[in-house]
């Protein structure tokens, strides 16, 4: 053994392991095979990735609409509850049971505190209005609520945008006015859709809109336009309907407004 | 002068292997994943890569696996190659990087084998066959090298076992040669200590 065991061991290691190999050509083929496999995988991923991205994006888009609608509903419910509470406090903190007669007096059609949805609360379209309504509307195939689910509704992504532009900022000071606005809306809704009294409904919608830009200002404007139409005030109705037909409020009632305007040239009783 | 000559990669012109004589084109082809380019580069460099892999790992099968991994990853790695070192140095650098987890596996395997082997030191008796003795020496050095850090191990193999200068090793690893020398000194000191314990 040499004097320096490390030198000796290094020499032995160098001799034992060199670069010669009988398997060199097999390794070359294996390398090429593995590279081909990697290339195929990359190509597959290149095609799969856009599809995956598209799927993810569409899922996210659908989820966004659903979530934003849920948040909007919960927010409206909470605002309504908060407004009711503050209203009670302003009246001296009367217990909630004292509030019941007022709610019941509005009718049993409000079993839950959530705000009414125009589509849900509008089972009767203007086209199915009784004899009191002008006969121009029944001729409209696309009456506003004839297709409550298929037509663009305020739940669509576009309508909330318009509402957001018109809606008042959520300041605490506005909360006491909210119950009144909701009451006005319910009253107008009842007159319009249940009593089918366009004259009274028009006044009620005006009262609601006079309170400021409420949560359902867009719906109220559209319903007001229908009342004007039924009352034969076609020019005013056209003026009210044009923004809807132009899409100023997104897709909300756009098709119906456009259909009504296109028939406005027809003689009206 | 071609890149390959400037880089000192080849001992003979690559044009003999590459009929079109365009080395830069070959490197570009390699970066694009060309099989022909990869075969050419493999034939030029596989022995150096294999030797380093074996000396780092001390295990034939693992070393072969490492060689394949290095050349399979070479086209992708070539996209970051700017000619700052020779292709051989670049390839050997990739080998040292990829060797890290192979070294750990090989060291664990050796440790397990030695726990159960209980080889007596008397096996290094002069009467033993010289070839067997030298294999055992190499094996014991490899076991001692398992006590080094990966950086020290790489520096030791490149400079001591492969007899490269610290500048060459620095070019392969992309670090200053002074760092190589420091790592080499630490590795030698530790190995001498370990081997002297074994062979007082």
Cα A239 versus chain centre, distance: 26
Instruction: For residue range A19-72, list pLDDT tens digits in order.
Output: 888 888 888 999 999 988 888 888 888 778 777 888 888 777 777 666 666 667
Q: Is B142 within 8 Å of A1 when comparing Cβ atoms?
A: no
pLDDT category at A171 given cuts 50, 70, 90 is very low
Most confident of A179-193, A248-262, B144-158: B144-158
B180 and chain A: CB distance < 8 Å anywhere? no
* CB atoms inside a 10 Å sphere around CB B198: 14
pLDDT category at A98 given cuts 50, 70, 90 is very low
pLDDT category at A123 given cuts 50, 70, 90 is very low
Chain B contacts of A21, Cβ < 8 Å? 47, 50, 64
Most confident of A139-143, A213-217, B81-85, B183-187: B183-187
Looking at this predicted complex, what is its ipTM?
0.78
**Chain A nearest C-alpha distance from B176 (Å):** 24
Instruction: For residue range A226-257, list pLDDT tens digits in order.
Output: 999 889 888 899 899 999 988 888 888 888 88
Q: Is the pLDDT of residue B172 over 60?
A: yes
Taking any CB pair shorter than 8 Å as contact, residues of chain A touching chain B are 1, 5-6, 8-21, 23-24, 27-28, 30-32, 34-36, 38-39
B160 and chain A: CB distance < 8 Å anywhere? yes
* CA dist list (Å): B7 to A206, B2, B27, B50, B157: 87, 8, 13, 21, 22
pLDDT for B14 equals 44
Query: Which one-letter DSSP state was computed for residue B160?
Result: I
pLDDT for B126 equals 56
Question: Please, how many CA atoms are within 13 Å of residue B106, restricted to the half-sphere of its CB?
Answer: 27
Chain A contacts of B32, Cβ < 8 Å? none
Instruction: Give the DSSP per-residue string, A174-226.
Output: GGGGHHHHHHHHHHHHIIIIIS--HHHHHHHHHHHHHT-S-TTHHHHHHHHHH
Cα A12 versus chain centre, distance: 78
pLDDT category at B118 given cuts 50, 70, 90 is low
pLDDT for B41 equals 92
Cα A201 versus chain centre, distance: 26
């Amino acid at each position: 053994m040499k004097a320096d065991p490390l030198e000796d061991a290094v020499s032995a290691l160098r001799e034992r392991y060199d670069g010669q190999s009988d398997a060199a050509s097999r390794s070359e083929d294996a390398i090429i095979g593995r590279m081909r496999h990697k290339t195929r995988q990359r190509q597959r991923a290149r095609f799969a990735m856009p599809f995956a991205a598209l799927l993810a994006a569409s899922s996210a888009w659908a989820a966004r609409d659903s979530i934003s609608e849920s948040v909007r509903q919960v927010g409206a419910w909470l605002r309504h509850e908060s407004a009711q509470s503050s209203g009670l406090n302003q009246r001296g903190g009367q217990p909630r049971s004292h509030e019941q007669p007022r709610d019941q007096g509005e009718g049993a059609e409000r079993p839950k505190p959530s705000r009414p949805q125009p589509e849900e609360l509008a089972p009767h379209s203007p086209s199915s209005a009784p004899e009191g309504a002008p006969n121009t509307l029944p001729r409209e195939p696309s009456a506003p609520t004839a297709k409550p689910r298929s037509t663009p509704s305020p739940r669509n992504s576009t309508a909330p945008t318009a509402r957001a532009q018109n809606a008042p900022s959520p300041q605490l000071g506005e909360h006491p006015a909210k119950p009144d606005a909701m009451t006005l809306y319910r009253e107008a809704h009842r007159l319009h859709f249940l009593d089918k009294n366009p004259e009274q409904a028009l006044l009620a919608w005006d009262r609601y809109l006079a309170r400021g830009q409420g949560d359902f200002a867009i719906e109220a404007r559209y319903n007001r336009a229908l009342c004007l139409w039924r009352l034969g005030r076609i020019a005013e109705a056209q003026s009210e309907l044009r923004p809807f037909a132009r899409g100023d409020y997104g897709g909300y009632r756009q098709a119906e407004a456009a259909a009504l305007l296109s028939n406005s040239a027809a003689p009206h009783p | 002068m071609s890149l390959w000559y400037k880089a000192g990669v080849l001992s003979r012109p690559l044009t003999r292997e590459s009929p079109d004589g365009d080395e830069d084109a070959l490197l570009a082809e390699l970066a694009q994943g060309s099989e022909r380019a990869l075969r050419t580069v493999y034939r030029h460099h596989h022995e150096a890569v294999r030797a380093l892999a074996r000396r780092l790992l001390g295990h034939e099968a693992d070393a072969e696996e490492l060689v394949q991994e290095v050349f399979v990853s070479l086209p992708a790695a070539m996209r970051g190659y700017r000619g700052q070192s020779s292709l051989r140095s670049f390839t050997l650098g990739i080998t040292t990087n990829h060797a890290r987890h192979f070294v750990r596996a090989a060291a664990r395997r050796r440790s397990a084998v030695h726990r159960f082997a209980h080889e007596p030191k008397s096996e290094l008796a002069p009467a033993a066959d010289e070839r067997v003795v030298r294999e055992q020496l190499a094996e014991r050095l490899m076991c001692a090298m398992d006590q080094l850090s990966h950086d020290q191990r790489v520096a030791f193999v490149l400079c001591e076992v492969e007899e490269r200068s610290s500048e060459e090793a620095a070019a392969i690893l992309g670090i200053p040669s002074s760092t190589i020398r420091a790592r080499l000194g630490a590795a030698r000191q530790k190995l001498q200590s370990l081997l002297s314990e074994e062979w007082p």
